[in-house]
Amino acid sequence: MKYIKYSKTKIGNIAILEENKQIIAIGIDQKVQNNVVQKDTPLLKEAQKQLEEYLAGERKTFELPLNPKGTKFMKEVWTALQEIPYGETKTYGEIAKKVGNPKAARAVGMANHRNPIPIIIPCHRVIGSNGKLVGYALGMDKKQYLLEWEKQNV
């Protein structure tokens, strides 16, 4: 059974999705899939609390059971993203090297784009090799906001 919890935040309306007592997705200002039950489970309440703490500048890391759906490579990228410290950035190339495939910067970009658990898996912390902000599935305005927010609260 999949459960969902909605929450209004300063960056938009967040939907948190749980399956088998693990967070599997977060949507921001997006339609979330059908076949889910809206329910305040303990895990969804905790996820909402941690997101609120992050957006208040009180939390730097998340402590939640995650199960993002993706290929082995995508999961390796998403694990590497979680190792980027709060308030810092890495390039797509640096992440490619980290996962053992230095020529896979574009594939890292695609994995980043398909990250089902943004913010908690901080894909917003990945930038272009020239230091510019490039691509973000939730919109460049949100990426810029999150990066600036973290730099202010380091």
Catalytic machinery residues = 123
Torsion sign (Cα): 26, 24, 112, 78 = positive
Amino acid identity, residue 145? Y
Which contacts (CB < 8 Å, 24+ apart) does range 29-33 have?
A: 29/138, 32/4, 33/2
The residue whose two tokens read 């901080």 is 122
Q: Judging by DSSP bridges, how do beta strands 90-91 and 37-38 pair with one another?
A: unpaired
| Cβ-based burial of 70 (10 A; exposed 0-12, middle 13-18, buried ≥19) | middle
